[in-house]
Amino acid sequence: MSMKLINILVFCALFFSATKVEALELEMDNHCLAQNIYFEAGNQPLAGKIAVANVVLNRVEHDKFPNTVCDVVYQTKEWRTSWTGKTIPKLGMCQFSWFCDGKSDKPKDSKTWAESLQLADEILNGQYFDLTEGAMWYHAYYIQPYWSHHLNETVQISAHIFYR
């Protein structure tokens, strides 16, 4: 085999494996973002779902947070070992409460889940702008977390108040 042919084959192998890796990462990002939309805003109107996703993407872009969608969604301060030996997030220590509330993270409402997957795909493909004006935090309007007084409120959308 000629050196030129070997170089072409090596290039193709690298190109196609990189493409497959990128496709897998996008699929994982889509799943993680859809989970966050589903559990944090599944009962919200479209604007509320988009805004929750905007916070995740704003965090990905900020240097104080992890740099992938999944790492942002699953970010926790502390992990523990369950009685079965499985490593799980410690209750109350997650950035998004659904991830460490001790309940199943498997969607039960298939229609809302399918809508969340579709919306996550559209958001990751840039079909919506940031409704939150750069927010990186939010909470439900009916609670007052200690940290909210130290941030600038940007907008309230449905049941959530957003901050940066």
pLDDT digits (tens, 9 = 90+) for 13-42: 556 555 665 666 778 999 999 999 999 999
Domain count of the fold of the chain: 1
- What pLDDT score does 45 carry? 97
Q: What does DSSP assign to residue 146?
A: G
Is-contact 40 50, C-beta < 8 A? no
Read off the tokens for 32: 């993680």
**CATH code for position 16:** 1.10.10.2520
Domain that holds residue 52: 3-163
Read off the tokens for 44: 């919200």
pLDDT digits 0-9 by tens, 100-116: 888 889 999 899 999 99
In sequence order, what are the residues at sequence separation of 6 or more whose Cβ sits closer than 8 angstroms to the Cβ of residue 76?
89, 90, 93, 94, 95, 99, 100
**Which own/partner contact pairs does 95-98 have at CB distance under 8 Å and 24+ positions apart?**
96/36, 96/39, 96/40, 98/35, 98/36, 98/39, 98/40
- What pLDDT score does 1 carry? 46
**What CA–CA distance (Å, rounded) separates 8 from 85?**
47
Query: How many Cβ atoms sit within 10 Å of the Cβ of residue 154?
Result: 20
